[in-house]
Amino acid sequence: MNMANPIHKQILSEQIKEKAHELGFDFCGISRAQALDEEARKLELWLNQGKHGEMQWMENYFDKRIDPRKLVEGAKSVVSLLYNYAPPKEEILHQQDGYKISKYAYGKDYHRVLKKKLKKLVFWLKDIVGDFQGRAFVDSAPVMDKIWAVRGGIAWQGKNSLAINPKQGSFFFIAELISDLELEYDNNPMRDYCGSCTRCLEACPTNAITEPYVVDASRCISYFTIELKDEIPTNVKGKFENWIFGCDICQDVCPWNRRSKPHQEPAFLPKEALQKMNKTDWQEITEEVFNQLFEGSPLRRTKFEGLKRNIKFVSEIKHSDKI
């Protein structure tokens, strides 16, 4: 579909942003669908250095990952959306010395929550412009989410590699709508506001942020507790700081997250039973309780055996600590 009239493009783009906010998305930016040549070189180097660990899927569909026009035929635009998941302070689960899970996993699986909203956006858009070629993505296809958020002017990529918005920090899910609609592009990528700050690098207990803007995923606590299917290497024992699913350390220390605001999504709130879990409850969790407690939860990814492995790993004291 070709919308040649620039006034129409501008009006439609504004309407899309208004509808996105109505659906609960905090920020929306639009960029031209084109090949990511510079990012392709960086990604290829990162993969060749093995920084993706055993996540072999990151090597797949490389050509689609770096060019959205190969995901959607005739693609002209990428609508990038940010959806807040920062919990209210009183809902933060890991008080004091308890076991910790990433904030994004407190409630229901974000893929389901956001895809419902994206479907509403697509149906609404088709009512306005008629049929068009387009696909919605929520961290479920070879799309370089953070890059498109930067290009859409709604974030910059921080030294911890995460997308950061100056108004609300980095506790966001990223989604996209890639389509053949010609829209008004936000041609002012956001500047980098990290400055001289290195708190995320200094705080990472496994040194996964090897240099500013470069994360060795194979050293990350999130990788060890979610993606890695084998035993966790002993050389990182004692470094997990009680994280048993994911890790938020580099976000928690980021000064920009002082500006984060509590989300307004009921689906992301933790179940009451989860809020009451103490260390003993975690250590004695049964598969039946796991299935009930985490039905429809991101924690299902690690499976019961994986969660038990993680709990055991962070609970054991290194031999050198006993001496």
pTM tops 0.85, yes or no? yes
| Token duo for residue 60 | 């797949």
Mean pLDDT for the stretch of residues 29-44: 95
| Token duo for residue 215 | 């994360």
Domain edges within the chain? 6-88+105-179, 199-322
> What pLDDT shows up at residue 58?
87
Q: Give the residues across from 211 on adjacent strands.
A: 214
> What pLDDT shows up at residue 319?
42
Cβ partners under 8 Å of residue 118, min gap 6? 81, 136, 138, 175, 177
192 catalytic per annotation: no
Mean pLDDT for the stretch of residues 26-53: 94
155-185 per-position pLDDT tens digit: 999 999 999 999 999 999 999 999 999 999 9
Please tell me which residue in 26, 63, 127, 139 is annotated as part of the active site.
139
Percent of the chain with pLDDT over 90: 86
Mean pLDDT for the stretch of residues 183-208: 95
pLDDT at 3 over 60: no
